[in-house]
Amino acid sequence: MTVRGKPEAADGLRAYAARTRGSADQFAAVLEDIATNGLPAAEDCTPWEEPRETRLARLAAQRPAVA
């Protein structure tokens, strides 16, 4: 697929590349921190279920109830 003659498509690809690059940089920083400092103690971490349940509750509140 070419984006020649379609500036919106080219702009969209550039924006996607920037977001992807930003995500990769953030992921690399996390890995470097783990390599330097090790993993945090389990007691200092939030179980993944807690933010998941919070997010699901927020989504459920936004969705209209089905009769």
Tens digits of pLDDT across the chain (67 residues): 556 778 888 999 999 999 999 999 999 999 999 999 999 899 999 999 999 999 999 999 998 766 5
Answer whether residue 39 is part of any domain: yes
What local confidence, expressed as pLDDT, does residue 64 receive?
76
Q: What pLDDT does 13 receive?
A: 93
Contact in structure between 33 and 27 (CB atoms under 8 Å): no
Task: Specify whether the CB–CB gap between 3 and 10 falls below 8 A.
Answer: yes
- 36 inside domain: yes
- What are the residue ranges of helices labelled H in the chain? 7-37, 49-62
pLDDT of residue 47: 93
Q: How many domains does the chain have?
A: 1
Residue 2 lies in a domain: no
Can you give the residue range of the structural domain that contains 26? Answer: 7-62
Q: Which of helix, strand or coil describes residue 61?
A: helix
Tokens 């933010």 — which residue? 51
In this predicted structure, what is the pLDDT of residue 48? Answer: 93
